[in-house]
Chains A and B, each alone.
Chain A
């Protein structure tokens, strides 16, 4: 095979231990002629997302593990009863282009997606094509260099791009959710290349998402959320909280979205100018969540006419309102985005509350 010098099964069993390096790596390895051959070998084996990857050499993998202060054999959780180890996650993080300083975030995120509440077996495989959204809070977001402001959901920042990509590669490579095989997404979504950003806590009038979800102020955390595509909305005219949240609620009760289908969670991303208006009216995150739970609803009659529920419209259906989120707690609110545009966005949740919900975990040394 072009560029491949030699494949080796169970490198750990055939390589001498080097004391200072720590335990031997357990993954198979192969020798290639140079960096370009390594990149091509990764493509050929189906290890990439279609973009080139950084060759996962032992030196780079060990640097990544040191960045997370973790041992290669550390299990982060299970998928189909098989442990996912820090070593496998480190290999994928190297390939994604992460710096070792990013690795604690990747480790916490992988623990999150392997948490049974997250429901990866469904969200990673379903025809719904959900992506895994990562929201990072606390000092680690700053030290990792994550972007929370202009273009936070777009390209241009290494930490945003590579941390999200690392988790995606873990889902594909270590968890087996390979497109066309276990990943049966009807359409797929661009967010499956990467979807990671920080919350702009310094620019927010409200506590961080992680605080609302039970972690202390000043701590570092990552929240993983299985969501559909980003629904951006514009509201340049409202000068009240109710005006902006009314626009958000109207967008959120669209027919055919993940929340229309499953009525689980959703993620609302509020930009600085919308936040300023909402906060000026005395609204905090809890009031926002309660408003959206109350107003992101649609009548059963509408749902039937819109082919979202079976059957003919019957007496009482006009008065029966279907909530599009499970509860006010099922609305996740984060401060994200730059100045200079009264745009915000919401992301529908994957399927129902029982099948998938967001998980927030602290980020710390040792994964």
Chain B
């Protein structure tokens, strides 16, 4: 309660999501960029990601840097993240079924 009245002060239970304030990364031309594909073991995720990579190479002139594999849907290991940071300019991934 605050002084002299019935009003009260309540506290925020949330923790802001990282990146929520930062928005999307800058967009620009992707021709000549190195594209990494990151699949998460969902059935056919490798097929759809490789198809997208091939289409982008064909239509947008990117280079597919490779397909990385995660054994599950948990966040990627630091090793995968470091390697993709070194070898890729942009990454395509997805979640869900």
What residues of chain A have their CB less than 8 Å away from a CB belonging to chain B? 5, 8, 11, 25, 27-35, 38, 41-42, 45, 47, 55-58, 61, 79-82, 84, 88, 91-92, 95, 119, 121-122, 125-127, 169, 173-176, 182, 184, 310, 351-352, 354-355
**Chain B nearest Cβ from A331, distance in angstroms:** 21
Which listed residue, B13, B95, B97, touches A56 by the CB 8 Å rule? Answer: B13
Provide the B52-83 mask, 1 if CB < 8 A to any CB of A, else 0: 00000000000000000001111100000000
Which listed residue, A34, A91, A122, A175, touches B11 by the CB 8 Å rule? Answer: A91
With known contacts A121-B75, A355-B72, A28–B18 Cβ distance under 8 A:
no
Asked whether, in the complex, the Cβ of B6 is within 8 Å of the Cβ of A174, the reply is: no
Asked whether, in the complex, the Cβ of A42 is within 8 Å of the Cβ of B8, the reply is: no
A–B Cβ pairs within 8 angstroms, 30 of them = A27-B13, A31-B7, A32-B10, A33-B6, A33-B7, A34-B6, A34-B7, A34-B8, A35-B8, A38-B8, A45-B12, A47-B13, A55-B10, A56-B10, A58-B11, A80-B17, A80-B18, A81-B18, A88-B14, A92-B13, A122-B73, A122-B74, A173-B15, A174-B15, A176-B14, A176-B17, A184-B95, A351-B72, A352-B72, A355-B73
Asked whether, in the complex, the Cβ of A5 is within 8 Å of the Cβ of B13, the reply is: no
- The 5 closest A-B CB pairs, nearest first, are A173-B13, A355-B72, A91-B13, A28-B12, A27-B11
Chain A residues within 8 Å of B97, by CB: 127
Chain B, Cβ-Cβ closest to A126: B73
Q: How far is the CA of A236 from the CA of B59 in the complex (A)?
A: 66
Which listed residue, B12, B15, B72, B73, touches A82 by the CB 8 Å rule? Answer: B15
Chain A residues within 8 Å of B72, by CB: 119, 122, 351-352, 354-355
Chain A residues within 8 Å of B8, by CB: 31-32, 34-35, 38, 55, 57
Asked whether, in the complex, the Cβ of A174 is within 8 Å of the Cβ of B13, the reply is: yes
B96 touches A (CB below 8 Å): yes
Chain B, Cβ-Cβ closest to A48: B13
Chain B residues within 8 Å of A173, by CB: 13-15
Chain B residues within 8 Å of A176, by CB: 14-15, 17
Asked whether, in the complex, the Cβ of B15 is within 8 Å of the Cβ of A88, the reply is: yes
Asked whether, in the complex, the Cβ of A174 is within 8 Å of the Cβ of B14, the reply is: yes
Chain B, Cβ-Cβ closest to A310: B43
What residues of chain B have their CB less than 8 Å away from a CB belonging to chain A? 1-2, 6-15, 17-18, 43, 71-75, 95-97
Chain A, Cβ-Cβ closest to B72: A355
Chain B residues within 8 Å of A175, by CB: 15
Asked whether, in the complex, the Cβ of B15 is within 8 Å of the Cβ of A30, the reply is: no
Asked whether, in the complex, the Cβ of B74 is within 8 Å of the Cβ of A91, the reply is: no
Which listed residue, B13, B18, B71, touches A169 by the CB 8 Å rule? Answer: B13
Chain A, Cβ-Cβ closest to B19: A80
Chain B residues within 8 Å of A5, by CB: 7
Asked whether, in the complex, the Cβ of A30 is within 8 Å of the Cβ of B74, the reply is: no
Q: How far is the CA of A34 from the CA of B7 in the complex (A)?
A: 5
**A-B contacts besides A91-B13, A121-B74, 11 pairs, CB < 8 Å:** A8-B9, A25-B11, A31-B7, A32-B7, A32-B9, A57-B10, A58-B9, A80-B18, A82-B15, A84-B15, A354-B71
Chain A residues within 8 Å of B7, by CB: 5, 31-34
Chain A residues within 8 Å of B17, by CB: 80, 176, 182
Chain A residues within 8 Å of B43, by CB: 310
Q: How far is the CA of A150 from the CA of B4 in the complex (A)?
A: 47
With known contacts A31-B2, A32-B7, A355–B74 Cβ distance under 8 A:
yes
Q: How far is the CA of A58 from the CA of B8 in the complex (A)?
A: 9
